[in-house]
Chains A and B, each alone.
Chain A
Amino acid sequence: MAEPQSSSAIPVWVQPLMAAFLGLLISAGLVWIIGENPASVFGVFFRGAFGTTYDLGLSLFYALPLACTGLAVCMGLRARLFNIGVEGQLTVGTFFAALAGLYGPSQPHLNRIFGLLAALLGGFLWAALLAWLRAYRKAHEVVSGIMLNFVAFGLTSWLALNFFKNPSTQNPETVALDASLRFKSWTFFDQAPIGFHALTVPVAALLVWIFFRWSRMGFSLEAAGAKAEAAEQGGISVASMQFWSLSLGGLFAGLVGFIEVYGNTGRFVVGFSPGYGFVGIAVALLGRLQPLGILLSACLFGAILKGSLDLDFETEKITRDFALILQALLILLMSCSLPMPSALSSLWQRIRRNVFGTRV
């Protein structure tokens, strides 16, 4: 949300750190209650996520789509709109990318560019539908987003399985594109699927940063979210800002499709996303809607996902679902900051008044 304006506001990094700390504390408590050793469980997490360069690569690999969806959610939340449709948008983006790869130009570089554009277009179009419903039909964006997720899932699987299905397998997936079109993994990460496509993500974050820092539209978008009436009087069309904040967010959701198809599987697999769009909410909140913060929190969530995979084998009672609990705790702990941390900041102001004697 908005940058802290006065000295009385809480520094932007305080709440994420507090949330992360509390989240770890609560989950350590849970682990302890059921009779496992918290230290050894977190040890498994840590080794699973960072033990070798391959593990590190896989953590980053999970972080990439999460950073994209985090940016997508962030674009909406900056205008105080909750883009819960990211999951559907990335599904459509991936579907588009897989088809573009199959039917696009055969020259590898052209094909990749074509695939990237198709992925972005898919995400954008699906988001534009949501954005239109919100901005011009005044439908609640959360409800229509959820409905659009279901429809995206149903439509893409229907199309994929009836018209583009890979005939040589029982799996619900489309025909894979040629291996030469996919990006090669860097040797540093020892076969983990991280290559040049990964660079699109920091570039996307940089673009978002520039957009909100310097562009007129970025400013209007936040103004429309923060003070709709004032913005309208200042000549900003709130409806069109709402439209753009959601639909531009769809571009980043679509980017997941490019990474998935050209950097990983090379095809559209029905149900491939383990809820990237929903975790993106947590990523955006924990990153305090700052692009750099989102990159960092995506890395944290990627590491949590990767680290949790080994829990199944290395502990007796805890499974990979533990990552979901940790993510949910972070969402809940960060949620209270959204309408400006009113309860928390009044507490903070009281502390300042009483302890430091500052006039608020």
Chain B
Amino acid sequence: MELVFDTLLAGIRMATPLWFAAMGGILCERSGVINLGLEGLMLIGAFTAATLAYFTASPFIGFAAAGLAGAALAAVFGFLTLTLRGDQSVVGMGINLLSVGVTPFLTKIFFQVTSSTPSLSVEQKFIMAPTLIAVGLIASTALWLRFTVSGLWVRFAGEHPEALTSAGIRVLRTRWICVLLSGVLAGWGGATLSTMLASQFSRQMTAGGGFMAIAAMILGRWSPLPTALICLFFGLTDAVQIRLQGSLSGSDTAWMLQLIQISPYVLTLLVLAGGLRASRAPKALGKSIEI
């Protein structure tokens, strides 16, 4: 029983960064912008949080700064995709690559090594705070999109941008706000990785978390609650896998590990093959707006 409870708790902790990133992804995509740069935004957030938590001894300052860093990188993304109307997918991948390159570059400048930032002590780390923030965030995202006027604007920006324009609301501005918010949220997701789950920033520590969040968003049909549940499922898969890794290494069933690892992706592909994406994705997703 205690084992089950421990694994559950570990799963919730591991789902937290995904929750942040996936909510960011939902805001972005519901407003009609494909944000494949979530991974890179998380990475810059993870670096910023660990660095500031180390220098200021406060994880909260690190957390706040990670949101700002994510928003700053998201602003680059927004400028290239919304203002210059570059291809959203290409820019997103470019942002990821930029983040992978810039973070060790900065680590080297601040700490003279490229592999990781110094370890944080217990006082410089979070215990559970980001998880609580994430839970509140999921609820408020769901309520915002569903019950408020501005939430309606976001949905219209992604479904019928022309209708929004004729109602006198600027689509571009709505999308800008969503892109910046997704930067803040993904940055927080990264901060959770480096200052709650781990106790330092290390190279490419997101390890596909941004893409996991995208997968969860698709499986959750772009709505906050189902997406959060899928994230939780991914987190639990991770927790179980780590537990198995501990107890299985060297045993006969160790060969299963790689297969467990890819199971979330296989699941997403199966759902995609079922044609779900076409039926539920925001209609104007990925289409730029002529000003």
Chain A positions within 8 Å of B, measured between CB atoms, are 30, 34, 82, 84, 133, 137-140, 142-144, 146-148, 150-151, 153-155, 157-158, 161-162, 278, 281-282, 285, 317-319, 321-329, 331-332, 334-339, 342-344
CA distance A161 to B258 in the complex (A): 10
Contact between B93 and A325, CB atoms less than 8 A apart: no
Checking B34, B114, B218 against A319 with a beta-carbon cut-off of 8 angstroms, the contacting residue is: B114
Which of B3-11, B127-135, B265-273 touches A? B265-273
- Please determine whether A154 and B93 come into contact, CB atoms closer than 8 angstroms: no
> Which residues does chain A contribute within 8 Å of B266, judged by CB atoms?
147, 151
Which B residues are within 8 Å of any A CB, using their own CB?
34, 36, 76, 80, 83-87, 89-91, 93-95, 97-98, 100-102, 104-105, 108-109, 114, 208, 211, 214-215, 218, 255, 258-259, 261-262, 265-266, 268-269, 272-275, 277-278, 281, 288
Residue of A nearest to B255 (CB): A162
B91 near A335 with CB under 8 A, answer yes
Q: Which of B76, B87, B101 contacts A339 (CB 8 A)?
A: B87
Are B109 and A147 neighbours in the complex by a CB distance under 8 Å? no
The 10 closest A-B pairs by CB, nearest first: A324-B101, A154-B262, A328-B98, A331-B94, A336-B86, A338-B87, A325-B101, A139-B272, A138-B278, A328-B97
B142 to chain A, nearest CB (A): 22
Contacts of A318 in B (CB 8 A): 105, 108
B265 contact set on A, CB distance < 8 A = 147-148, 150-151, 154
Point out the residue from B114, B208, B258, B277 that lies within 8 Å of A139, measured CB to CB.
Answer: B277
Say whether B273 contacts A139, CB under 8 Å.
yes
Q: For A323, what are the chain B residues with a Cβ–Cβ distance below 8 Å? A: 101
Majority DSSP secondary structure for residues of B touching A: helix
User: Closest CB-CB distance, B100 to chain A, in whole Å?
Assistant: 6
Known contacts A328-B100, A331-B93, A335-B90; 4 additional CB pairs below 8 A are A155-B258, A278-B93, A319-B108, A336-B87
Cβ–Cβ contact B105 & A339, under 8 A = no
Most interface-central of B98, B101, B255 (chain A CB within 10 A): B101
Known: A140-B277, A150-B211, A332-B95. A317 touches B108 (CB 8 A): yes
**A321 touching B104, Cβ below 8 Å:** yes
Minimum distance in angstroms from B135 CB to a CB of chain A: 26
A-B contact pairs, 16 of them (CB 8 A): A143-B272, A147-B266, A150-B265, A151-B266, A154-B265, A278-B93, A278-B97, A282-B94, A285-B90, A327-B97, A328-B95, A328-B98, A329-B98, A332-B86, A335-B94, A343-B84
